[in-house]
């Protein structure tokens, strides 16, 4: 089933309405309304998610795709139903394009594995490198100037061969050093990515 053909105008978000969906944002921190920006570490849950989680634990908490009893079947149906809803929401071509992971680190590993297995099975090098513009505990430490040449060098050092794909991770602020991404670096990223794309194509 194809979900990517929907065409609807984008409206400005209603911030107050969105905030009202998150019960925790009704509290105050240091005497002021709570503003939460630490989503990379822990994302707050909207009321609909909290209610759905409560429903699962109270009514059909069971192993999906494996348990053959009634609760397991209900849990699996709800899980796959959520996949279909997400596919429609993001405009995916099919629900099979949606893969649920626990966190960004696992998601990156899944992409890396998929590229390796797919390209390797077809006789290609099947490698991917992930570089971070600023340090992150989840990704490779990479704090030098980001250029196609340095990325390729890092890839060869890590894998011993030229990668077939790059994943560039950009952190707005470093938790380790407290340094924010400079405006100059942010402005240069599109050019770096374009040069990297052309550079990788030229090595094939």
pLDDT of residue 137: 41
Is 150 a member of any domain?
yes
Residues 112 and 195 in one domain: yes
Number of compact structural domains in the chain: 2
Are residues 192 and 145 located together in one domain of the fold?
A: yes
Last residue in a domain, options 42, 74, 97: 97
Structural domain of 50: 15-97
Q: For all residues of the chain together, what is the average pLDDT?
A: 74
Among 38-52, 105-119, 123-137, the range scoring the smallest mean pLDDT is: 123-137
Chain segment 100-116, per-residue pLDDT in tens? 988 777 887 777 666 65
What pLDDT does residue 195 have? Answer: 72
Domain membership of residue 147 (yes or no) is yes
Per-residue confidence (pLDDT) for residue 123, from 0 to 100: 40
Q: Which of 74, 97, 120 is the last residue of a domain?
A: 97
Question: What is the phi/psi pair of residue 52, to 5°?
Answer: -65, -40
Q: What is the mean pLDDT of residues 148-154?
A: 60
- Other CB atoms within 10 Å distance of the CB of residue 41: 8
Asked whether residue 196 is assigned to any structural domain, the reply reads yes
Q: Is the pTM of this model over 0.85?
A: no
């Amino acid at each position: 089933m194809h979900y990517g053909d929907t065409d609807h105008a984008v409206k400005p978000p209603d911030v107050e309405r969105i905030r009202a969906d998150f019960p925790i944002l009704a509290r105050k921190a240091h005497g002021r309304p709570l503003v939460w920006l630490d989503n990379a570490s822990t994302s707050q849950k909207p009321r609909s998610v909290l209610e759905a989680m409560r429903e699962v634990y109270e009514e059909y908490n069971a192993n999906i795709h494996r348990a053959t009893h009634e609760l397991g079947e209900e849990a699996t149906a709800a899980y796959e139903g959520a996949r279909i809803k997400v596919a429609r929401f993001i405009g995916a071509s099919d629900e099979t394009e949606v893969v649920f992971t626990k966190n960004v680190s696992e998601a990156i590993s899944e992409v890396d594995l998929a590229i390796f297995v797919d390209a390797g099975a077809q006789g290609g090098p099947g490698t991917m490198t992930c570089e971070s513009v600023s340090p992150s505990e989840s990704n490779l430490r990479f704090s030098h100037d980001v250029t196609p040449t340095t990325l390729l060098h890092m890839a060869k050092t890590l894998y011993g061969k030229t990668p077939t794909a790059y994943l560039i991770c950009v952190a707005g602020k470093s938790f380790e050093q407290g340094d924010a991404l400079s405006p100059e670096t942010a402005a240069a990223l599109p050019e770096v990515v374009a040069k990297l794309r052309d550079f990788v194509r030229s090595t094939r």
